[in-house]
Structure 1
Amino acid sequence: MNPIPDIEAFEERAAVMQYDGGLSRSRAEDAAARAQGFRDAAAYWQALADYVVTKRWGGQADG
């Protein structure tokens, strides 16, 4: 089963790691994506983009 992105948690975690942890935005987003079960930020954003186009999470009907 593919993870479902939580954009609020992603943005908050990335911001904390960037500003408090001193990571670059790219590294912070990768870490935030991994915390949600994604390979990296690119995979996270791709899952969101796929949902916008298909209205499905990872090939599964939503709801």
Structure 2
Amino acid sequence: MAKVSPAEVERLLKGVDYPASKKDLINHVKQESKEVLDALQQLPDETFQRPTDVNKAIGEISRESR
């Protein structure tokens, strides 16, 4: 997975109503950033309560793929 900036993720997810599913997040950023979209597609199928939960999950996936 490409390195994705937490600030970029939060910027692109601005306006999302939480709690939000993985599908909700992907639909929100579809046209914005391929890197963030790729990262979101690798998230587990769960509901995220806040943007920091999304960034935490992306960070965990990133560490596992090294």
- Shorter chain as normaliser: what TM range? 0.3 to 0.5
TM-score (norm: length of structure 2): 0.40
Compare relative contact order (CA 8 Å, sep 6+) and give the higher one, 1 or 2: 2
| Higher Cα radius of gyration | 1
